[in-house]
Structure 1
């Protein structure tokens, strides 16, 4: 990824002499502040450096991009895994309407789901469902903020299947938990920028032992993808220091439902048993009883 960044920076430097005066100002700003420029609209970038929006668009064209959004996407792909939380907060000043953060965040999450729906490969999705159903053992791996959706996936798959294990940080190391992984097993790794190095290592470990590997991540350029047999893409563009996991969770919901549709009889029997257990042990609050209090 660092090499890709240097390639883009080198491209800007190579084209610099032929740029117009206004375009050179843009180039200098990007070379110094590419982390901030990546999340600015063309209008905002132009306003920041003192040129018109059309000059920004022509600058992108001069570099060989079809438009500014393509250049912006390239910059985002290059730097999003390198941003610290402090940098995210600084950038969020340009992305969030501080008067209405609710609207800003929800709109961004809606866009993440929309892009995910466009990007997702339906055939790969179906292949992953089949791999889940035929796997001897299923291990689900993911740390940091992704741990929440790892637990969610593990919780529901455990209701459908009896061979699911969530790999977690605890007394035993992750490699000890993956000790017996091998051919016939399936390992599902989940991570989004900033990618967890432990998750990447777990997928490499599993792949080296001939297990099938599924990566749920944000891009085919993700370090998880290089160790995966199947990669499911979910958009996770952040708005601030908080990772946006709305689209990844929606994708995982779809996976659970798809597996459930293949195991309808098992699910029906499981939930009939669970309902009796929940009732007997008062797992859920009794609404009618509460109303009478």
Structure 2
């Protein structure tokens, strides 16, 4: 499916006008395709059923059903937890140790993430954005909120003004409304993508607020709203993503920020450590 969507994005400008509308809708709403009939899809986009069929033919499919199957297979294999649970090799009777499987997958994901050319090229730009921002907001939905909090707490250790977005929908909107164009938003968004996060990033993007997105692939629905994107490999044979590469990327970001902020960061860490020791925070 990723190859198909990348092809659509690459060839989109060569499509007739009506088919361009179809292409744009498919890229932005690919996760809805398995649940739509051709008539419903055409109605959502504002084109005819014939336009949908011609679009599918243009991509080499015999019809909409053949095209839709690609997205249906993705949903059933990647987004449905039950399927992953049922085929997971991590069972009491598995011939493989959970430790060896996790070691193999984590190592592969970390290597893929930390050698990704896009990530390498974007690191210096991110550090500049961190340095120039008057305030930084880290956000993530569900399990990604833990990643946001870890990034925020580590950057605060360097003396930066970093806030995490928390609370219910109402509180979240209250916090979003206080972010200005002088701030920087760093967002985590992984499958299954949290609607609140994607909608918030869309609103922030429309206000012209700088956004750095940490996600899995260019197929992320949050992708169009980011000014800078880092890709984390979260591939896992289990029924939950592997976030080891995200932690490694956060470590790299914080190291880079610490080096760029030195000696101010060093002075802040020294003073903070002194206060922590004086107040008996550590044993």
What's the CA shift for 1:261? 0.3
Counterpart position of 1:213: 211
Structure 2 CA distance for aligned equivalents of residues 252 and 92 of structure 1 = 28
Shift in alpha-carbon separation, 1:2–1:155, aligned structure 2, 3 A: closer
1:255 aligns with 2:253: yes
Q: Does 2:193 correspond to 1:195?
A: yes
Do structure 1's residue 91 and structure 2's residue 109 form an aligned pair? no
Q: Could you tell me which residue of structure 2 aligns to residue 116 of structure 1?
A: 113
For the pair shown, the structure with the greater C-alpha radius of gyration is: 1
Is the alpha carbon distance of 1:3 and 1:170 closer, same or farther for their aligned partners in structure 2, counting shifts above 3 Å? closer
Say whether the 8 Å CA contact 2:127–2:256 is kept in structure 1. yes
1:126-165 equivalences in 2 (<5 Å) = 126-165=124-163
Matched, 1:186 2:184: yes
- Listed as ranges, the gaps of 5+ residues in structure 1 are 15-26, 36-77, 286-293
**Residues 1:109 and 1:91: Cα distance change in structure 2 (over 3 Å):** same
Residue 44 (structure 2) aligns with: none
Q: Report if aligned partners of 1:188, 1:216 keep a CA contact under 8 Å in 2.
A: yes
Shift of 1:162: 3.7
- Mark the CA change 1:208 to 1:239 in structure 2 (over 3 Å): closer, same or farther: same
3-state DSSP class of the match of 2:88?
Answer: helix
TM-score, with length taken from structure 1 = 0.69
Moved more, 236-245 or 115-124: 115-124
The equivalent residue for 1:166 is 164
Is 82-91 or 172-181 further displaced after alignment? Answer: 82-91
Cα RMSD (Å): 3.2
Q: Alpha-carbon deviations, 1:63-86, whole Å to 9, x = none?
A: xxxxxxxxxxxxxxx448962221
**Paired residues of 2:138 and 2:186 also in contact (CA < 8 A):** yes
Q: TM-score, normalised by structure 2?
A: 0.71
Runs of 4+ in 1 over 3 A off after TM superposition: 2-8, 10-14, 31-35, 78-82, 93-97
- Check the 8 A contact 1:81/1:194 in 2, yes or no: no
Q: Aligned-pair distance for 1:189? A: 0.9
Q: Secondary structure of the residue that 1:86 maps to in structure 2? A: helix
Distance (whole Å) between structure 2 residues aligned to residue 148 and residue 131 of structure 1: 22
Quote the offset at 1:197 in angstroms.
1.1
Write out per-residue CA displacement over residues 60-110 of structure 1, whole angstroms, 9 at most, x where no aligned residue.
Answer: xxxxxxxxxxxxxxxxxx448962221221232499982312111210111
Distance (whole Å) between structure 1 residues aligned to residue 201 and residue 267 of structure 2: 34
Q: CA deviation at 1:267?
A: 1.9
1:253 CA displacement: 0.8
Alpha-carbon distance change, 81 to 185 in structure 1, aligned in 2, over 3 angstroms = farther
Deviation at 1:200, TM superposition (A): 0.8
Residue 34 to residue 116, structure 1, CA distance change in 2 (3 Å): same
Pick closer, same or farther for the CA change 1:109–1:95 going to 2, 3 Å.
farther
